[in-house]
Structure formats: structure tokens, C-alpha cells
């Protein structure tokens, strides 16, 4: 059977998962009367809540007698590791570009990886139904991007399709058609069949699946030979050692599920059951003549955070897994499938350094662990510095901001304060398109400030570019915080009296403990306050003295906002039901000693 392997790559929110939906419907994977909903591939709770793709997933459809393996990839730069590993399974890519926004930072990143692997691109200019869209101009910008990334002559001669995943049509011109068949025809015409070399069996594991019935399942593309059920194989490990094994069961992807088969020929993507203790990047090879494929190269992490056990007074109230051993086992288990992550033990057995691609990458891990019943404390995110030719260097990112004209000066001011340098400023209809080169440190906490300054109108995206010399001190949070003096249940009476001192993160009636951060102070510097004091009741009353408490609703910070908000002497307590910000040292005397040592150092 003819096979085509394609990956769909694009910047976040340019319509990848919506396009996969249309491919699924066009090839009649579901019955006509079957209820499917939207964004079918985003089947993880976190993905549905956030409206983003976090994990790469593959499905298989059949069109005109040809099997097409489709791989849906994430669009956020933080999940770039997912894209890097699955591109090895593809022979061609559908590069989606928004007809209004044009190529964005993640477009450049994923395209560079695809071109480097020699994949054939098909450019799809999506969302041409949007007002103010500029498909012809975007097409020219995409060509310029290909040229900048040193595409070959063959890759520069890419076919282009226009259309709208929402309306369900694509065409080689801007003329609207009835369906997406022209896109599927372009895949058959321009994506080559899998290149198959002669020799013994080889399959690189690029993804893993898990079944409570079958255990861990290795997923990858057979690069050479034929893999058969019951076949004895050797697993070529990352450390060059060999482990003997046997293929118990083989599955190929069919529609949204898998189908059991007796053998899989080179070029097809399959799932292998029965191999123990494998890692992504290892090779399933012939028993008698094992040959390993080159290991998947993944970009290094740029940020780290300290994970430790929850040592607050509320320890163990909500979570099932609270010990350092539980935490360590879970973090090392995550390394099996999350290639861009690193975990390092510290001198303290209760603390671990976790390295990732960015705040979103790390926060998704924390959120997943919370939902699984873990309690943990996480520290302030720190960028990873390197010494290059004797010079201290830090990661820099390419930041792109689209914002209405009237807010452009505020955005430029905010970024410049954080050591950013403007590279490009151009008009896109009523919007200003701004591009900056800035240290990754400067991005921490920038999103919330920018949304406040632009009345929520700014659209920002960023992507790691390179390491450059250290830029010096970047100003942090201007305001201090209000810290609880002692534990107890907060009262409306106390919060009402303290409202003019700051904006609260708690409501009356919530339990607090000493050292917990309750509010943002209106001035620099921290202040210890008592929020558990109740109104003294007497038998004397006089009219007009007892005004009703008028308390503003609390500020609800998400996990990412908390991570961007905290300073060096603060941390976040994460439990299955609560996220609290607290001081590292809960006792006020310990905090004073710590601040004195910081000033001396």
C-alpha cells in the first residue's frame, strides 16, 4: 500500500489541530452520525482547558488508496522538544501560516528543523476568511524566510495552498472550493514515498505510549527491513550497549486508534509491545547484526527551577504523594518521554533542579503533577548561564509583539527597560508589528505587565535565538508584599481595614499560615500583617459606627502568573486543590537574618 508520512507544523494558534479535524472528517474516519466535537486530537484535559496542543499525536487516514500518517505537533516554543523528535518520522511537512499574522518566531524554529532534515514542505496559508488578511504579502514573507534558512532549490520550489480550516476548504488559488481535497491531492503529489534503504531491520523509537493492559509501548517509523510479531531483536541503547528483546505484538495506526498486524514494512509508523526499559532515541535493530541510527538531537533547556517537597504547615492535607522519594521518582519518570527536560539532584535530598525550555514547559509539568495528587514547592525560575570564551553569557530570545498603534510606545518602553533592543517596527493594518532581541530573563513577568499596559490587546510570542554576553541587572517587581504574621482563618473585618495597604490574593474565611503572602503591597518593601483578628463585640452600639465591610474580590493568579510574580526569597506551594505564594522562610526573624546576609553579599 502507498504511504505518505506528514507532520503539520506552525506557530501557536495558526490552525494545526483544526486542520487535522478537517482531514479526519474528509477521509470519513468517523461515521456520519457519530458525535465528534472540535479539536479532536487535543484529548488531554490540560490541552482542552488551555486550548493548546502540548503533546505530539499521530493518526492515520486513507485517501485515494494511499495511507497518510498525519502527525499533529505543538505550536508553543516551550514544547519544541516534541516537534524535534517527531519530525524524524515524517517525509514532508505542511507548514501552516496565518494569512494575517504571517511567519512568527515558532514558524522559523520548526521550519529550520524540517529543512535541516531535508523534508519537503507544502505551504498552507490558513485563515484567508479573516478580515484584513494579506495572503499574497504573507506568501512573499514565507519565501523570504525559506531563503534566509538556506533552503535547497527543491525546497524553495514549494507548492502553496490557500484556505480556511474553519470553513473547511483549501485550493491552489484564493477561489473557494467545497472541500479540502486539493490539499490532500497536493500531499499525494508533492510528499515523496518513504525512502527505504536495503538491509536488516531498523526502527528508531521517537515516541512512547502507555496502556494499563500492555504496559509501555514504543512508537516509531520502521526505517529499514520488515518488523515481525514474535521476532527477536536487539535494542541499541543510548550508551551504546545492547539489550536483547522480543516483539510481542505490533500495531499500526488506523484512524484514531491502532490495528494489530503481523508485520510492518519499512516506511510505516507502528507501535511495538513487549520491549522493556527503552528510551526515546534508542533503536530497535536486527538480532544478529544490530546497527543503531543516529540519536535525535534536541536543543538544550534555557531555564531551571527548584522543586522540593511541601514543607508548609498545611503539608499533607490534600495530596497523596508528599515525600521526596515520590517527587524524585515522578520527575525521573517524566524524563522518559519529555526529551527537552533535565533533572539534577542537589546536596539536599528534598530538593531537585529541573531544567526546561520555558515557564509554560515547566508549569505544565507542575500542573500535571498536581492533578495526579502530588504536593510540592517550586522556586523562582532562573535562566541558565554559560561561559563562552571566558565571557558570562545568557540566553536571548526573539520577541514578536502585535499591538494597536496607540499602545506601541508603551510596549517599546516596557521591553527597553528589560534590556530588549528593537529590530523591526512595521504596520500591519491597524496593528503595529514589533520585533525585539532581548534576554530570556526579561521575559519573566513581562506578559502580565504588557497585557495591563495595552488593555489586553497585545499578542506576544517569543523563541530562543542564541546565547549572548550578560546584559546586567534587570529591574524586578517594584512592589513589596503583605505577609501573614500568624496562622488562622482570615476575617472580613481585618481584610477590610487592610485594603488600602494592598490588593489581596485571599478572600475572607480562607485558612492562612504565618509567612504566607496575602497581598501585593502598594509600596516597595514587605509588611507583616494580621488578617485573623475579628471585630471586638461589646454591648454598646451607636448609630453610624458599624459600616458594612466592602471587600474587593481577590486577585486570582494562575500558576504561570505566580511563577512570574515571585522573587528570590519566595516560592509557590502547589497542592491538588490550592496554589499559595509564600516566603521561603516562614518565620519573620529568619527572613530578617536572610535579608541581612543578602545585603552583605
Letter string b/e over residues 240-270, b meaning 16 or more CB atoms within 10 A of that residue's CB: eeeeebebebbbbbbebebeebebbebbbbb
18 is in an annotated binding site: yes
- Number of other residues whose CB lies within 10 A of the CB of residue 494: 20
β partners of residue 203: 222, 284
Q: Using CA atoms, how far apart are residues 21 and 41, in angstroms rounded to an integer?
A: 8
Q: Which residues of 410-427 are buried (b: 16+ CB within 10 A; e: fewer)?
A: bbbebbeebbbeeeeeee
| Residue 128 is labelled as binding a ligand | yes
State the Cα–Cα distance between residues 204 and 201, nearest whole angstrom. Answer: 10
**Is 398 a known ligand-binding residue?**
no
Is 248 labeled as ligand-binding? no
Q: Is 13 annotated as a binding residue?
A: yes
C-alpha cell at 419: 534590556
> Quick one: cell of 538?
461589646
Which of 395, 392, 449, 442 has the alpha carbon at shortest distance from 420?
442
Locate all alpha helices (DSSP H) within 36-122, ordered by sequence. 45-50, 80-86, 105-116
* Cβ count near 548 (within 10 Å): 7
Residue 557 CB-half CA count within 13 A: 24
Q: What is the dihedral of CA 402, 408, 414, 416, to 10 degrees?
A: 100
Residue 16 labelled as part of a binding site: yes
Going across the sheet that includes 502-504, the strands are: 502-504, 517-521, 481-484, 527-529
Q: Is 64 annotated as a binding residue?
A: no
Q: Find out whether 129 is annotated in a ligand binding site.
A: yes
* Angle CA 566–435–421, to nearest 5: 70
Residues of each annotated binding site: 13-18, 126-129
- Residue list, annotated binding site for GTP: 13-18, 126-129
Amino acid at each position: 500500500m502507498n504511504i505518505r508520512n506528514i507532520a503539520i507544523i506552525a506557530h501557536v494558534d495558526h490552525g494545526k489541530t483544526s486542520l487535522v479535524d478537517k482531514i479526519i472528517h474528509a477521509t470519513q474516519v468517523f461515521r456520519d452520525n457519530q458525535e465528534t466535537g472540535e479539536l479532536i486530537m487535543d484529548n488531554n484535559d490540560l490541552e482542552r482547558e488551555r486550548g493548546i496542543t502540548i503533546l505530539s499525536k499521530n493518526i492515520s487516514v486513507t485517501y485515494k488508496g494511499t495511507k497518510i500518517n498525519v502527525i499533529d505537533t505543538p505550536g508553543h516554543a516551550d514544547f519544541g522538544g516534541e516537534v524535534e523528535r517527531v519530525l524524524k518520522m515524517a517525509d514532508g511537512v505542511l507548514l501552516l501560516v496565518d494569512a494575517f499574522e504571517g511567519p512568527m518566531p515558532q514558524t522559523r524554529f520548526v521550519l529550520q528543523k524540517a529543512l535541516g532534515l531535508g523534508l519537503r514542505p507544502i505551504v498552507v496559508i490558513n485563515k484567508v476568511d479573516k478580515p484584513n488578511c494579506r495572503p499574497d504579502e504573507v506568501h512573499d514573507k514565507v519565501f523570504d524566510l525559506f531563503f534566509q534558512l538556506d533552503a535547497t532549490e527543491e525546497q524553495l520550489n514549494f507548492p502553496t495552498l490557500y484556505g480556511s480550516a474553519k470553513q473547511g476548504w483549501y485550493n491552489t488559488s484564493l477561489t473557494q472550493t467545497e472541500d479540502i481535497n486539493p490539499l490532500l491531492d497536493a500531499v499525494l503529489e508533492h510528499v515523496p514515498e518513504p525512502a527505504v534503504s536495503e538491509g536488516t531491520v531498523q526502527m528508531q523509537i521517537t515516541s512512547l505510549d502507555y496502556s494499563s493492559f500492555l504496559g509501555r509501548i514504543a512508537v516509531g517509523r520502521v526505517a529499514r527491513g520488515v518488523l515481525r510479531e514474535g521476532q527477536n531483536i536487539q535494542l541499541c541503547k543510548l550508551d551504546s550497549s545492547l539489550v536483547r528483546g522480543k516483539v510481542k505484538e505490533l500495531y499500526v495506526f488506523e484512524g484514531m486508534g491502532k490495528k494489530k498486524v503481523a508485520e510492518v514494512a519499512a516506511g510505516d509508523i507502528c507501535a511495538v509491545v513487549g520491549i522493556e526499559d527503552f528510551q526515546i532515541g534508542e533503536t530497535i535493530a536486527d538480532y544478529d547484526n544490530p546497527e543503531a541510527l543516529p540519536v535525535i538531537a534536541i536543543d538544550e533547556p534555557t531555564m531551571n527551577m527548584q522543586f522540593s517537597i511541601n514543607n508548609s504547615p498545611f503539608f499533607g492535607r490534600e495530596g497523596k504523594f508528599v515525600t521526596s522519594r515520590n517527587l524524585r521518582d515522578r520527575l525521573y519518570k517524566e524524563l522518559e518521554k519529555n526529551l527537552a527536560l533535565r533533572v539534577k539532584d542537589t546536596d539536599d535530598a528534598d530538593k531537585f533542579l529541573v531544567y526546561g525550555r520555558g515557564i509554560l514547559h515547566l508549569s505544565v509539568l507542575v500542573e500535571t503533577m498536581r492533578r495526579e495528587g502530588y504536593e510540592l514547592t517550586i522556586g523562582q525560575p532562573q535562566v541558565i548561564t554559560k561561559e563562552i570564551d571566558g565571557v558570562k553569557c545568557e540566553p536571548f530570545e526573539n520577541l514578536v509583539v502585535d499591538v494597536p498603534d496607540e499602545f506601541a510606545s508603551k510596549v517599546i518602553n516596557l521591553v527597553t527597560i528589560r534590556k530588549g533592543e528593537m529590530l523591526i517596527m512595521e504596520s500591519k493594518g491597524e496593528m503595529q508589528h514589533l520585533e525585539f532581541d532581548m534576554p530570556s530573563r526579561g521575559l519573566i513577568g513581562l506578559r502580565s505587565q504588557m497585557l495591563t499596559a495595552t488593555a489586553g490587546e497585545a499578542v506576544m510570542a517569543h523563541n530562543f535565538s542564541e546565547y549572548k554576553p550578560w546584559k546586567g541587572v534587570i529591574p524586578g517587581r517594584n512592589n513589596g508584599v503583605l505577609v501573614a504574621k500568624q496562622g488562622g482563618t482570615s476575617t472580613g473585618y481585618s481584610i477590610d481595614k487592610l485594603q488600602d495597604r494592598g490588593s489581596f490574593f485571599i478572600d475572607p474565611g480562607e485558612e492562612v499560615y504565618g509567612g504566607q503572602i496575602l497581598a501585593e503591597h502598594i509600596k516597595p518593601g514587605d509588611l507583616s500583617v494580621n488578617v485573623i483578628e475579628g471585630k471586638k463585640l461589646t454591648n454598646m452600639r451607636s448609630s453610624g459606627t458599624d459600616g458594612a465591610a466592602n471587600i474587593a474580590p481577590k486577585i486570582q493568579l494562575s500558576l504561570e502568573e505566580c511563577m512570574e510574580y515571585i522573587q528570590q526569597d519566595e516560592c509557590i506551594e502547589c497542592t491538588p486543590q490550592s496554589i499559595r505564594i509564600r516566603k521561603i522562610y516562614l518565620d519573620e526573624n529568619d527572613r530578617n537574618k536572610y535579608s541581612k546576609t543578602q545585603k552583605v553579599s
